[in-house]
Amino acid sequence: MVQKAERVVAPRTPGRAGKPVGNVTRGTTNPNRMRRVDRWLTGPAAWRLRAATDPLVVDLGYGASPATAVELFERLSAIRPDVRVFGIEIEPERVRGAKPFERPGLSFRRGGFELPVPGNPVLVRAFNVLRQYEEADVGGIWQLVQRRLAPAGLFIDGTCDEIGRRVTWVALDADGPLSLSMSLRFGSFTLPSEIAERLPKALIHRNIPGERIHSLMQAMDKAWLESAPLASFGNRQRWTGMCQTLLDGGWPVQDGPSRWRLGELTIDWVAVAPG
């Protein structure tokens, strides 16, 4: 049974022993599934980790296998060798299974949204976790994690398909959502709006006429089709053309061609926030 947000955000003393906040997820995971979001964390968001006084990172709800937590540690170590990554899981058996993968800088422990780690993380990645809750739960869960962030810390709430071809995530700081990112593998879609089935929980039920996210999906498809002549130069050029068309049309698109060529699009949250 899914917990309601009121139970999730019940006051708790940081660091106090008690029942983890949250519910056991299905735990489905695959190696390299998070490569697209990790590429963003080591790209546009990397300055947060580099500037952190305490390079503490949490992989929240890593699933039945610790593979993606190990990959996160290895990728972040390339830009911050002293990074400390904690893999957090609510299911005890998953934690026991991950213990053999521990090494200096990488640890696993039982917990939930209360984040039972020593300190305030600069990055928290929770993928395919909140999608298993009710939409009404999301705001409370966000706030619970946001309260634990370090200054300039970032919470990533994302969703992806089984092998990481279609990926979306919301980036939040302590004050609220900042942006929505979408990343697709070229050749895995006909229209970019197919990403809608992998939108984060806060948006997936909002892809209906009258909502901002629906308008964005329509605008992406229109710009993609208009950029069809660029397909002769490859899908990277066509995607870049789509992003430029959106930007020229007034959508607050972030970053630039170097990110767009990766099949990535990041847009200000205000442009897609539920109405």
Q: Within a domain: residue 125?
A: yes
Q: How confident is the model at residue 9 (pLDDT cuts 50, 70, 90)?
A: very low
Range of the domain at 39: 5-174
Q: Give domain status of residue 190, yes or no.
A: no
For residue 226, being part of any structural domain is answered with no
H or E element at residue 126: strand 123-127
Number of folded domains in the chain?
Answer: 1
Residue 143 lies in a domain: yes
Domain annotation covers residue 25: yes
- The encoded tokens of residue 1 equal 């049974």
Question: Does residue 78 lie within any of the structural domains?
Answer: yes
Per-residue model confidence as pLDDT tens digits over 165-200: 999 999 999 999 999 999 999 999 999 999 999 999
Structure tokens at 102: 């521990």
71: CB partners within 8 A, 6+ apart = 31, 32, 34, 35, 38
> Could you report the per-residue pLDDT of 14-51, keeping only the tens digit for each?
444 568 888 887 767 778 999 999 999 999 999 999 99
Residue 1's pLDDT is what? 35
Q: How do 56-60 and 84-89 pair as beta strands? A: parallel
Query: Does residue 114 fall inside a structural domain?
Result: yes
Task: Give me the CATH number covering residue 51.
Answer: 3.40.50.150
pLDDT in tens, 83-101: 999 999 999 999 999 999 9
What separation, in Å, do the N-terminal and C-terminal C-alpha atoms of the chain show? Answer: 28
pTM: 0.92
Q: Nearest-CA neighbor of 44 among 269, 263, 258, 271? A: 258
CA distances from 47 to 35, 42, 176, 184, 269 (A): 18, 8, 19, 24, 20
What pLDDT, on a 0 to 100 scale, did the predictor assign at position 22? 85
CA of 214: how far to CAs of 139, 220, 272, in Å?
20, 10, 8
**For residue 103, what is the DSSP state?**
B
Instruction: Give the pLDDT score at 2.
Output: 36
* 160 falls within a domain: yes
